[in-house]
A and B are shown apart, each in its own frame.
Chain A
Amino acid sequence: MVTLRRSLLAAILALAAFPTSAQERAITVASTTSTEQSGLFGHILPLFTEAAGIRVRVVALGTGQALDVGRRGDADVVFVHDRAAEERFVAEGFGGPRHPVMYNDFVLVGPAADPARIAGARDVAEALRRVASARAGFISRGDRSGTHAAELRLWREVGLDPVQGRGQWYREIGQSMGPALNAAAAQGAYVLADRGTWLSFRNRQDLRVLAEGDERLFNQYGVMVVSAARHPHVNAEGARRFVEWLVSPVGQAAIASYRINGEQLFFPNAPQPEPARPS
């Protein structure tokens, strides 16, 4: 009886104890679903860990939420794609400086039947105008993500307030990119997606890329170290090394080498130090 109780106790303790060592050797990165779900992190993080001996734990959220996680001090690095929001984050003193890392682009995706007749449009504003005037179904992320911010910026540029159509043709779902694509596929609706998630998305059904290539669909990613002055517990050293690696030639090459079906998803564009010019 006593031995039974003792071994039960031991089992409880073993079960409840989770390894906490290697804590200093890890950093937490608040990032976006687009970078995580596209598989980019799965490709580049093992390379960084191998080089630096630092594990990277990625919490994938919308850009707005990821920045909030950084503000609260719950991550060491924030890696997102909404320049205006990122600059606000830096200006408020929560972290920085902001380093541009890479870009890809957004694509306007919709059903093959294309009820709003936007296929092939180079002018994304014109495409959105047609979606609105056809009152064709449109899925909005509605989650303060970088993609959501980009979508709202585009509507403003068109001079339309889609919120008027909310609940009818304009549907805010408040979820990440994948669920938004699932919803568009299920409802035969249009949706703005980042190309990375789109390329790795499996449940396309009859969704197609209908409009792309407009320079307004440019999607820049930036990275920032969370301020150790605000949050003394952050792993500042690990965070700094991660950011330095990302913008270094090695990190940039790692990003460039990630491909799905031969197609490159992200294009590194961190400013490189000027090569020393012979004078």
Chain B
Amino acid sequence: MGDLHAAITAALGLILAVDPAVMAIVGLSLRVSLSAVLIAALVGLPLGALLAVTRFPGRQSAIVALNALMGLPPVVAGLLIYLLLSRSGPLGPLGLLFTPTAMVIAQAVLIAPILAALTREALSGLWEEYAEQLRSFGAGPLRAVPTLLWDGRFALLTVLLAGFGRASAEVGAVMIVGGNIEGFTRVMTTAIALETSKGDLPLALALGLVLMAIVVAVNALAQALRGAASRWAG
């Protein structure tokens, strides 16, 4: 009880004092997670749309694989990317291990399957509605992909937000590939893990509250945009 109270007070203090170190961590968290969502979206959204519109042998297995990848433990993903990016690994010469870029890659790998699976789900209803009309226009499944992505944009915003939520809450993978280097690769979640292990539970909790506030703010912003735009589109 006392700890919780201390945490809330500390969280307010962190936000109100605009502590530069905390702001830098918040900024990096946002940049890493938003970049990861963007990159994962470039792959996951078209892939999900393609799975929604095409019928090919092995499609069911692809969906099962995708759903399994959704459950990929972040630590495992982090480890794989660590081994790839390590100087002794195949992508070592890029020198990306322990950099924010490595963290973006790890988060993108983690959330791309989530985005693809959720996109498939969000667009398959739309495809059911559009399929015949698009075929009448002479548009095959491949041409339908960008159409569905655009016409499903409001539902996809929710998909992107789910990806962002998962990315920004993720700690296992970014800890491994980023190294939690102060002032360079320390993000909200790894800072929380660090403060927890230093036994400063109120500070850890306060950082957690700040993280939640950010995620809530991003969601509120996106939902407001979505609301305004979808009122327009009907």
Do A and B bind?
yes
- Chain A positions within 8 Å of B, measured between CB atoms, are 12, 15-16, 18, 20, 23, 28, 33, 37, 41-42, 57-60, 71-74, 175-179, 181-182, 185, 200-204, 231, 233
Q: Tell me if A59 and B181 are in contact (CB < 8 A).
A: yes
Contact between A59 and B199 (Cβ–Cβ < 8 Å)? no
B184 at the interface (CB under 8 A from A): yes
Pairwise interchain contact A73-B87, C-beta atoms closer than 8 A = yes
Are B104 and A37 touching (Cβ within 8 A)?
Answer: no
A-B contact pairs, 23 of them (CB 8 A): A12-B38, A15-B31, A15-B35, A18-B101, A28-B179, A37-B194, A37-B197, A57-B185, A72-B87, A72-B88, A72-B89, A73-B87, A73-B92, A74-B97, A177-B197, A178-B197, A181-B199, A182-B197, A185-B199, A200-B198, A201-B198, A203-B201, A233-B87
Please indicate the chain A residues that have their CB under 8 angstroms from the CB of B198 in the complex. Answer: 37, 178, 200-202
A12, A72, A202, A231: which contacts B199 (Cβ < 8 A)? A202
Q: With A60-B180, A233-B87, A233-B95 in contact, do A201 and B38 touch (Cβ < 8 Å)? A: no
Chain A residue at smallest Cβ distance from B201: A203
Give Cα A23 to B201, complex, Å: 34
Interface on chain B toward A: helix, strand, loop, or mixed SS? loop
B100 contacts the other chain (Cβ, under 8 Å)?
Answer: yes
CB of B67 within 8 Å of the partner chain: no
Knowing A15-B34, A16-B35, the reply to whether A28 touches B98 (Cβ < 8 A) is yes
Residues of B within 8 A of A74 (CB): 86-88, 97-98
Does chain A have a CB within 8 A of B158? no
List B contacts of A42 (CB < 8 A).
182
Residues of B within 8 A of A (CB): 31, 34-35, 38-39, 86-89, 92-93, 95, 97-101, 104, 179-182, 184-185, 194, 196-201
Chain A residue numbers with a CB within 8 Å of B31 are 15, 18
Q: Which of B38, B87, B196 contacts A231 (CB 8 A)?
A: B87
Chain A residues closer than 8 Å to B35, beta-carbon distance = 15-16
Q: Select from chain B the residue with minimum beta-carbon distance to A57.
A: B181
A20-B99, A203-B201, A233-B95 known; 6 new pairs, CB 8 Å cut-off, are: A18-B31, A28-B181, A72-B87, A73-B87, A200-B198, A201-B199
Which of the residues B38, B93, B196 comes within 8 Å of A16, measured between beta carbons?
B38
Q: Are B88 and A73 in contact (CB under 8 A)?
A: yes
Known: A12-B38, A233-B87. A18 touches B199 (CB 8 A): no
B residues less than 8 Å from A72 (CB atoms): 86-89
Give the residues in chain A near B185, CB-CB below 8 Å: 57
Q: Which residue of B lies closest to A75 (CB)?
A: B98
| B199-A57 in contact (CB<8A) | no
Q: Which residue of B lies closest to A181 (CB)?
A: B199
Contacts of B181 in A (CB 8 A): 28, 57-59
CB-CB < 8 A to B194: which residues of A? 37
Residue of B at shortest CB range from A178? Answer: B197
In the bound complex, residues from chain A placing their C-beta under 8 Å from that of B197 are: 33, 37, 175-179, 182
A52, B97: Cα distance in complex, Å? 24
- B183 smallest CB distance to A (angstroms): 8
Cα distance, A182 to B104, chains bound together (Å)? 31
